Structure 1
Amino acid sequence: MKKLKALVAAGLAVAMLVGCGSDSGTSGKTFTFASELDIKNLDSSDADDGMSFNAMHACIDGLMGLDKDGKITEALAEKVDVSDDGLTYTFHLRDAKWSNGDAVTANDFVYAWQRIMKKNGNYAYMLGSDGAALVGADEILAKMDNKQDITQADLDKMGVKATDEKTLEVKITRKISYFKELMTFPCYYPINQKFCEEKGDQYAKSAENVLSCGAFVMKTWKPGNKATYEKNKDYWNADAVKIDNLVMNLVQEPKAAATNFEGGKNDFAPINSDLVDKYKDDDSYQTFNEGYLFYLSLNFKTKELANANVRKALSLAINREDFTANILKDGSKAARGFIPAELSTGPDGKDFRDTAATFTAYDTTKAQEALDAGLKELGVSSIKLRLTYGTDESPMDQLATYLQNSFSKLKGLEIEMVATTKQDRIYTKQKNGDYDICCTRWGPDYGDPTTYLNLLLTNNSNNYGKYTSSAFDGKMDQAKQASDDTQRWTYLQEAEKIAMDDYAYIPVFEKGTAVLQNTKVSGLVHKPVGVPYTFTYVDIAE
């Protein structure tokens, strides 16, 4: 595709003079990142989606971060001391500034972590035993569950304390081998208390209402359109930042993103399966593991889905290999269990998925047999189930259509399609239990199997389908209490088996991503865990 390469080169030449794209109004090196998704939120107490994490991390650092090779390293923490029993972490902060000139202090973390609990933010549970296991956090979460007021005295008992302006002491209830990695996640980011309280309800709702202590300073943000950033001259690691401007083109359909890439207006553009054949032989084409597991959430309050044979029939009816290879064509892989490949490595140095069992299969004969058995147990000749999906979260529409076709081949099963938006899917239908089968996904917050398995705990706030198993909960509790890493790993694999044998969720595929990236661009760090992209080290060759 010589024509494409020539266009990209020409567009880049223009970009080097006036920024990337003639409408950017910037000068110097500009990297333009296209996204099919919008930025929903820049408040670390509320944000819960990957694109918001990308936008937030561009301008805010955590205690820990990633180096240019994607490995965990110190960020706002210059040094970390860990007690002999592994239950106390002392973070010594480096000299760093917010973009209003204030110093970043240990209290910025205390305030942020207390605030997410006061607000009962989407990731508040990550401070409890399902995440960082802070002392006192589970007690606060229990009060939330019981609709009790949270007092400042409750918050002060939580295991996070500023011993001085530059020292943060964190006490946890159990040893966590991946604790430092947790500290890269946005729900643990700092917030400048004075600035936040001055802005009130408008905090983090616009570019002028968010502060930076990261690689870039947000200059403009027009939801549904574009966000622009400039290099933060006061960033503690400013020498590592090679570009002058970062532009995020938001809510760009893949075809439009690819067209803009050809015209030099995008340096990075995700594309969908419809475009793969067109670009797959070009040097700009790349695929990689995105990290998301796409799966079916089943509502156990739906009488028909409370039947194990009906759930088994649904899983056996899905040809995952065909869907990923012939429909998506973007590097996605058929799911073999609820823990994706390339997520976590066990004490034996092997990937979790490589040593765990495979729980998915395609067999239409056995699927029909299971459904027939389920219908007999229910005392009916047929059932009707709703299949809910978001039309604005690609490739959910492709998945839903494929599933409808697959399920409709089963005699005695009728599928009603319920098309909606991602926001409505999650915050209305799933949270209120108004669904039967829901196409959903989960991106790992950290590199450990519990980031997925915790979703199935009886009291987990994201367990919308209300799956409950004392055997599963007990096995997860054993894993929490295990002092030996090998034994813990065994408990986690046993827990996954319990849930998958129950068809608690139905895993479908591990999402791959096909993208076009300017061949002169280097240093974009992608991780299938936590914040998807780190822009700090991006460079563009002259």
Structure 2
Amino acid sequence: MTKLFIATALAAVLALPAFAATPAEGEQLAEDQSLDFWILDAIKSLDPQLTSSRTDSDLIRQLFEGLLNEDAKGAMIPGAAESWEVSEDGLTYTFHLREAKWSNGDPVTAGDFVYAWQRAANPATASEYAWFIELMNITNAAEIVAGEKPPEELGARAVDDRTLEVTLSKPTPYFLKTLSHSTTYPAPQKVIEAEGDAWTQPGKLVGNGAYVLESHELGVQATAVRNENYWDAANTIMDRVTFVTVNDQNIGLTRYLAGEIDWMNTLPAGQFPRLQKEYPDQAVSTPWACSYSYLFNLSDKGPEALKDLRVRQALSYAVDRDIIVERILQGGQKPAYYWTHWAIEGFEPPEIEMAGWTQPERVEKAKALLAEAGYGPDNPLSLTIQYNTSEDHKKLAIAVQQFWKAIGVNVTLNNYEWKVHIDRLNNQDFEVARYAWCGDYNEASTFLDYFRSGGYNQGKYSNPEYDALLDQAATAENPAELYRQAEQLLIADMPLAPAYHYAQAQMINADLRGVPLENVMSSWYAKDMYRVAE
């Protein structure tokens, strides 16, 4: 095994300032070191191996710490692991854990990671993100997820309490980037076995992150306070972080402007231009690695009409993306004609033919395709679009309803709360659904793998040629061209109608420091933040 001593040693030393909030010279800290953060939907789960929600993950990231964290620009830096080594063949990673404690005072060990990863892969856990362990290419992960091998055969073992050895089935260039994702966080086996499903409740939840859960009123707010047992607690300035649920973004903005919320990271559609003029020191828009689409249900439970490629193409062509980003959202978003977010590191956007057409040309082609498929005034196509509760999602769904009406498609809109929306998606109980994917790590495969036959893939798209391209890319020295081909194939098959690539049009209290605006993943850590005196 070749020890990458210089690289890892430098990484550990140079990254240390990024672990903690570091006030600039001359800044005076405010007496109140608390953060009220807006969220749209109620927290679904605080179990790192069970959640599939970006909102949940933002809070889980405060309560737990993975092997690696992300710095302010999204680079991978030491977390629970202070250094690591990689074998010459790229198949074995050895992580050396720092001396750290759980919030109950127990030591954090390599076994806690082994338990968590086996738990995520174990079919009995019913993790919505079991596929993520498989995507990491850990030895035997695919077989364990499929129920063909026991979880104990996963390629992760505790050499000793502070040494974790991970073996991969093939070299995986993006492997380290997966290690800041919540699915890979350690889990306290003793607590989970003692408390069962109740282990994530306030007073019972034990984590190894910078904060510990103090209270959680479902659909109202959840509050975490500093974990004095966190290994770097001495350098954590923010004392308290509260996640405030406000389903209506306009009400959320009103509460922000009233001083009840300190950070709102998704502004109501159309509000950013005004707010940027009125609050130039608070309103900011930055790229965010999420893509918004309308997902087609191609499973046996989906409508027969969507099995016809011509229908799917017509629906996608008819979506006027310029109206969506320029007239409805107005927050720096970009029209999407492919799936992967344009700002992902190393991504080379594909050339998509329809992107070069005018919208009238797209509409005419859409009408012709529907006619070819047998739909028209005498046989109109009717579909239902499902979306989760949000004024913005509603505005967009109404817009798409009108876009599709213009080509002769009748659309019914169904609104569900987030948890119900996701449950219906997971069970293929939908026809067309509003869906957005936020990257789990900063590499194109995090988007493309969603549509892999064994991926999360709630619409159940499947194409062996697509899967083969992703398999090749996983070990390619430069996978960009394979990702580009996969994108082109995906859009040729059109299992979705891409709508736009996200930007985060947000309001941030002028006294708040440490928000990672240059991290396209938008992964943030309250421990790296602080407030200055006005």
Q: TM-score range by the shorter chain?
A: 0.7 to 0.9
Task: Pick the aligned partner of 1:225 from 212, 220, 226.
Answer: 220
TM-aligned CA deviation for residue 93 of structure 1: 0.4
CA contact (8 A) 1:444 1:528 kept: no
Q: Distance in 1 between matches of 2:379 and 2:445?
A: 37
Q: Which residue number in structure 2 is paired with residue 74 of structure 1? A: 78
Q: What residue identity is the alignment partner of 1:513? A: Q
Q: Partners of 1:260 and 1:363 in 2: how far apart?
A: 38
Aligned-residue offset at 1:138: 0.8
CA contact (8 A) 2:61 2:209 kept: yes
SS of match in other structure, 1:264: coil
User: CA–CA distance in 2 between the matches of 1:426 and 1:37?
Assistant: 12
Residue type of the partner of 1:126? Answer: F
Name the aligned partner's letter for residue 132 of structure 2.
M
- Per the alignment, do residues 157 and 356 of structure 1 end up closer, same or farther by CA in structure 2, a change over 3 Å counting? farther
Q: Unpaired segments of 5 or more residues in structure 2?
A: 1-28
Q: Please state how far the C-alpha of 1:102 moved relative to its aligned partner.
A: 0.3
Task: After TM superposition, give the deviation of residue 34 of structure 1 in Å.
Answer: 1.9
Distance 1:177 1:164 in 2: 26
CA drift at 1:278 = 4.0
Partner of 2:387: 390
User: Which residue of structure 2 lines up, in the alignment, with residue 515 of structure 1?
Assistant: 506
Distance 1:285 1:423, change over 3 A: same
> Which residue in 1 is equivalent to 2:206?
211
Q: Is 1:291–1:528's contact at 8 Å kept on the other side of the alignment?
A: no
* Offset at residue 290 of structure 1 (A): 3.0
Distance 1:415 1:256, change over 3 A: closer
Preserved CA contact (<8 Å) 1:292 1:528: no
Give the C-alpha shift of residue 419 in structure 1. Answer: 2.7
Give me the whole-angstrom Cα distance separating, in 1, the residues matched to 2:454 and 2:37: 38
Shift of 1:175: 1.2
Measured in 1, the distance between the counterparts of 2:475 and 2:63 equals 37
Question: Is the CA contact (8 Å cut-off) linking 1:343 and 1:528 kept in structure 2?
Answer: no
Distance in structure 1 (CA, Å) of the matches to 2:210 and 2:59 = 11
- Any conservation in 2 of the 1:57–1:531 contact (CA below 8 Å)? no
Deviation at 1:60, TM superposition (A): 0.9
Alignment-derived partner of residue 165 in structure 1: 161
Pair 1:274–1:509, CA change in 2 (3 A):
closer
- Structure 1 length-normalised TM: 0.86
Residue aligning to 1:294 = 292
Question: How far apart in 1 are the matches of 2:295 and 2:519?
Answer: 21
Match of 2:402 among 405, 416, 419: 405
Q: Output the CA distance in 2 between the equivalents of 1:481 and 1:212.
A: 34
Counterpart amino acid of residue 306 in structure 1: K
CA gap 1:284/1:232 in 2 versus in 1, 3 angstroms? same
Q: Residues 444-523 of structure 1 correspond to what in structure 2 (within 5 A)? A: 444-460=439-455, 462-482=456-476, 485-486=477-478, 488-523=479-514
The equivalent residue for 1:330 is 331
- 1:230-269 equivalences under 5 Å are 230-251=225-246, 253-269=248-264
2:73, 2:518 within 8 Å by CA — same for their partners in 1?
Answer: no
C-alpha distance in 2 between matches for 1:227 and 1:423: 17
In the TM superposition, residue 254 of structure 1 has moved relative to its aligned partner by 2.7
Work out whether residues 304 and 378 of structure 1, in 8 Å CA contact, stay in contact via their aligned partners in 2: no
Q: Which moved more, 1:417-426 or 1:279-288?
A: 417-426
What code does the residue aligned with 2:337 have? R
How much does 1:74 deviate? Answer: 0.6
> How far apart in 1 are the matches of 2:270 and 2:373?
43
Under a length normalisation based on structure 2, what TM-score does the superposition of the two structures give? 0.87
Query: Post-superposition shift, 1:531?
Result: 6.5
SS of residue paired to 2:215 = strand
2:68 corresponding residue in structure 1: 64
Paired with 2:155 and 2:520, the residues of 1 have a C-alpha distance of 25
Alpha-carbon distance change, 527 to 297 in structure 1, aligned in 2, over 3 angstroms: farther
Structure 2 contact 248–390 (Cα < 8 Å) conserved:
no
Aligned-pair CA distance for 1:529: 6.0
Indicate whether 1:539 and 2:530 are aligned.
yes
Whether 1:94 aligns to 2:98 is yes
Preserved contact between residue 82 and residue 96 of structure 2 (Cα < 8 Å): yes
Instruction: State, as a whole percentage, how many aligned pairs show the same letter.
Output: 25
Map 1:20-35 onto structure 2 (within 5 A).
28-35=32-39
Q: Distance in 2 between matches of 1:167 and 1:49?
A: 30
3-state secondary structure, aligned to 1:273: coil
1:70 shift after superposition:
3.5
Alignment correspondent of 2:432: 437
**Is the CA contact 2:41–2:418 (under 8 Å) kept in the aligned structure 1?**
no
Distance apart, 1:503 and its partner CA:
1.5
Q: CA deviation at 1:509?
A: 0.5
1:258 partner letter? L
- Tell me which amino acid in the other structure corresponds to 1:303: E
**TM superposition shift of 1:16:** 5.2
Superposed CA deviations along residues 170-219 of structure 1, whole A, max 9, x for unmatched, are 00011111211101000000011111211112111x22121131112221
Counterpart in 2 of 1:3? none
| Structure 2 Cα separation of the partners of residues 541 and 517 of structure 1 | 13
Task: Name the stretch that deviates more: 98-107 or 285-294.
Answer: 285-294
Q: Is the contact made by 2:188 and 2:207 (CA closer than 8 Å) also made in structure 1?
A: no
Query: Structure 2: how far apart are the matches of 1:366 and 1:140?
Result: 45
- How far does residue 441 in structure 1 lie from its aligned partner after superposition? 1.1
* Structure 2 residue corresponding to 1:123, chosen from 119, 123, 129: 129
**C-alpha deviations, 1:228-251, integer Å up to 9, x for none?**
222222322234422222222223
Secondary structure of residue in 2 paired with 1:352 = coil
State the partner residue of 1:40: 44
SS state at 1:280 partner: helix
Q: Distance in 1 between matches of 2:517 and 2:211?
A: 18
Per the alignment, residue 84 of structure 1 pairs with 88
1:375 pairs with 360, 363, 371, which one?
Answer: 371
User: Relative to 1, partners in 2 of residues 1:279 and 1:388: Cα closer, same or farther, differing over 3 Å?
Assistant: same
Determine if contact 1:319/1:362 at 8 Å carries over to the other structure: no
